[in-house]
Structure 1
Amino acid sequence: MKLVGKKEQAYTSLDIDSPHVARRSSNLSNVQLSPSSASTISISSERGNVFSRGDDGDRTFYNNVASDILAALDGPVRQLAFETKGALLATGLAAMFYLLAWFQAVLIPFFLAIFLMYLVDPLVEVIDVSPKYFLCVCTSRGRHARRKSRGCSRAFASLVAVSLVCVFFGLLGYITVLSVHALDATAYQTGYNHLVSGVEHILEQIGLPVNITTTLHDNVDKLARIVVTETMDLLSVMFVTLIYLTYFLCTRTRASDAGGVWSKIDHDIQRFVTLKCFLSLFVALLVTIVYVSLNVGLAVVWGILTFILNWIPNVGAMIASVAPICIIAITPSDLMNPMEKFLAMFLPMCFHMFVGNFVEPKVFGRKLEIDPVIVILSLSAWGLLWGVVGMMLSVPLTAAAKIMLSHLKLWPEFVALVEGTYFTRFGIKAGRYKKEEDDQKDFETMEVRTESEKDRANGSHMRA
């Protein structure tokens, strides 16, 4: 809502958000739209008519009319604007969630490729800017600089980086298989039998006779089918993701060459993904060292799982800490004593708490900070839409949206809500903004212009 007028004249109309505003107050006898214009309001006040035409034909305001107008229209206009924005926001969110769920087969590899692009792009940059170590195989040293300007080096560096990513994931799978084969199945089977017998005995004492072994055997086939199906789906998604990733890396320009606000957005997203990757790798290395030192079975597998799950805030750290307890509990006593089992359960939790509560806030800073409530909501929403992949991408997607809106100066309410500063910046009532300073400026401007008009009118009468 703003007053509209020329620089040297009094305000001539009141511009509002909707033509459906009508209200009575103690100072205004009637507020209604003028039939000539949808953005002009004709108002009659108890103190006099709002508009009066002088000898020179200019419209002037009587004193205190500005306060009458703002007092009459402040509540209805803001309430109507809030209700309209709320309805549009709810409709837009519903449509967006429906489209995300419907096109998940296409969008999951797409966003996963963008996520991996920010992880792999530093490697591509290193290969691309080091021609004396990574020369294009189809050129000589003398022609490499000319070929590079046509994109040969960038494409070659992207293919090398994607190949290294494939080799890396292949090594992870190979290490996982070796870790499983290295387990002493007989010893762990004995520990498993002792644990199951103890649990069944406790359940019988409290009146819940349950045969855990029979229940597990009955669900083995179902579990195996689920694992095979999910594995095949994961392989197909990864294949499409690698195709997207190769294309994105080959066609991507450097952030420094983009220029403008998009360069800053790209830099902040790159910084967030890189820092999160290093922190996840740091926690995974600490957990792996502890598990290897304490003879925990599948130590490397738990470290890999920790790196992956650390991208899922709060819930991921909990799963990464609780999942190894199953194998720690059935580890034979000759491999781990009770004190070692306690340390194997306790130390990873301490690592996750220390990094999540102290290191990440310091590293990311206020600019990349996300409120814990928003983290849980985004985790639930993306997990409901896209499953485990959505949970992994929930925080990167939310952080990317926050960074883009912050730089583009769009939806400051959403940015404040993600940061957890909504109520301090925009007031306690949702949708009601703190505009006392703007209103005060409007009052001062109106009073100054009204006084100048009165002085001009008095001067003209005295000259007459």
Structure 2
Amino acid sequence: MPAPASPPVTTRNAVVFLAVVAAVAALYWMRSILIPLALAVFLAVMIDSFARVLTARAPTLFPPRVALPAAVVLSILLFGASFWVVIANGKGFFDQLMDYIPRLNGIIAKVAHAVGIQVAPTIDSLINQLNPQRYIGQVASSFGNFASNALLVMIYLGFIIASRRGFARKIVALYPQHAEREQNMKLFQRIRDGVEQYLWLQTVTGVMIAGAAWVVMMLVGLDNAFFWAFLIFLAAYIPILGGAIGCFMPPLFALVQFPDSLWPAVILFCALQAIFFVVGNVILPRMQGDSLNMDPTVVLLSLAAWGALWGVTGMFLSTPLTVAAMLILAQFDGSRWIAILLSEDGDPQGERLLAAKPKKTSNPKIAGAKTSSQKK
């Protein structure tokens, strides 16, 4: 019997394009369900990576059975400390901001006179025109949605961590053939490594940027320097946009704090620009190497696309989600060309990089599961 003829390239590409459009529509339509699930998976990968680091660094103190609960507890403590820093410093920051209102009115008056406006508006008049009372319901609804989503994320995370023990048996049941199983395990490990590398890079570079920015802000004498440095560290997890926020916001507040001189704001802006430039263009590429293998233009486009689909959460997860999509698209002939365009060097699966490295043994848990299945 002759083999069925493969569809034309045009037809195949059209089907792939329609599938991508349908997937994007599904991501947007089901965002209320998928956003908490994606965050839970991201946190689960982070905790699993944390546990493996604890086991590798201190195997006697943190064996595999102890490492995961310890990683969960340490992660909760880290997130709790982050919320405490924001809440504890945020109140003083906003109280001090109220004291800056006369200075803000003076700056607005100078700008208004410079552009030819005779009667300059004030902060109070601008607030009255915005009529913040009409947004109280929306703000309350947003806080309610945040609380419910956070609870849903924690529930998803608990079930994901509880079900990880059966992952090896599921892989064996899904892919009985050893070669197929190894191929899919490599795909999973590549996605996991991409998420872990993204977390590691953003954390290390965020600490570098925040530490250097804190030193500069302390030298200039900017109020709430630690709070600003902590916000810059958090913003560093959002590619590109986080750097822009970190560069412009502290100098703007320096204009308010030092209304009689432009030099503190100028010094802050130039120093922060230099810090972001050195870290982003010198240190980060050397640390990153071929790990993520994403084109810089794709990073920018993915930030805009995922931000339009899932908001701030999409911006935060844009890079790991795009890495996962690129690796999955590279597995199929019809969509491999999309993965090649998304990659930086035309090798989305990292086959050349893997060929240059020594081969590792397969996962012992899966190997054990395979042996037991063969005995049966």
Whole-angstrom distance in 2 between the partners of 1:173 and 1:235: 17
Q: Could you say if the C-alpha distance between residues 274 and 98 of structure 1 is closer, same or farther in structure 2, counting changes exceeding 3 Å?
A: same
Residue of structure 1 in register with 2:321 after alignment:
397
- Match of 1:189, as an amino acid? I
The answer for the alignment partner of 1:161 in structure 2 is 74
Residues 264/211 of structure 1: CA separation in 2 closer, same or farther (3 Å cut): closer
Is residue 231 of structure 1 aligned with residue 139 of structure 2? no
CA contact (8 A) 1:100 1:107 kept: yes
In structure 2, what residue type is equivalent to 1:117? A
C-alpha distance after superposition, 1:97-140 (max 9, x if no partner): 22111211111111112222333334434667868757xxxxxx
Partner Cα separation in structure 1 for residue 207 and residue 165 of structure 2: 27
Q: What's the counterpart of residue 177 of structure 1? A: 90
SS at match of 1:282: helix
**Structure 2, gaps ≥5 residues long:** 172-181, 349-376
Is the partner of 1:111 in helix, strand or coil?
A: helix
Q: How many residues align?
A: 330
Task: Specify the code of the residue in structure 1 equivalent to 2:312.
Answer: V
Aligned to 1:301: 227
Letter in 1 for 2:227: V
Q: CA deviation at 1:382?
A: 0.9
Could you say if the C-alpha distance between residues 212 and 255 of structure 1 is closer, same or farther in structure 2, counting changes exceeding 3 Å? farther
* Between structures 1 and 2, the one with greater strand share: 1
In the TM superposition, 1:68-147 aligns within 5 A as 80-81=8-9, 83-125=10-52
**Deviation (angstroms), 1:403:** 4.2
The corresponding residue for 1:388 is 312
**Counterpart in the other structure of 2:130:** 219
Q: Tell me which of 85, 88, 110 is aligned to 1:198.
A: 110
User: Deviations along 1:140-194, whole A, 9 cap, x unmatched?
Assistant: xxxxx9xx8xx6x4664354235324422332233333542673743x2332121
Q: CA deviation at 1:341?
A: 2.2
| 1:333 CA drift (Å) | 5.0
The structure-2 alpha-carbon separation of the partners of 1:172 and 1:120, relative to structure 1 and needing over 3 Å to count, comes to farther
d(CA) in 2 for partners of 1:162 and 1:247?
A: 17
Per the TM alignment, residue 330 of structure 1 is displaced from its structure 2 partner at its CA by 0.7
Q: How does 1:252-401 map to 2 (within 5 A)?
A: 252=164, 260-261=185-186, 262-332=188-258, 337-401=261-325
Q: Are the aligned partners of 2:254 and 2:265 in contact in 1 as well (CA < 8 Å)?
A: yes
Distance, in Å, in 2 between the alignment partners of 1:333 and 1:287 is: 21
Query: Using the alignment, how far apart are the partners of 1:184 and 1:208 within structure 2?
Result: 26
Quick one: structure 1 residues 283 and 232, their matched pair in 2 at CA, closer, same or farther if it must change by over 3 Å? Answer: farther
Out of 380-389 and 250-259, give the one that drifted further: 250-259
Cα-Cα RMSD? 3.7
The aligned residue for residue 413 of structure 1 is: 337
**C-alpha distance in 2, partners of 1:87/1:409?**
15
Gaps of 5+ in 1: 5-12, 19-79, 135-144, 426-464
Q: Deviations over 1:367-407 (max 9, x none)?
A: 4132232222212211111111111111121123334555x
Higher relative contact order (CA 8 A, sep 6+): 2
Q: Of Structure 1 and Structure 2, which has the larger fraction of its residues in helix?
A: 2
Secondary structure of the equivalent of 1:330? helix
Q: What do residues 233-263 of structure 1 show as CA deviations (whole Å, max 9, x unaligned)? A: 3233222222323333444469999974133
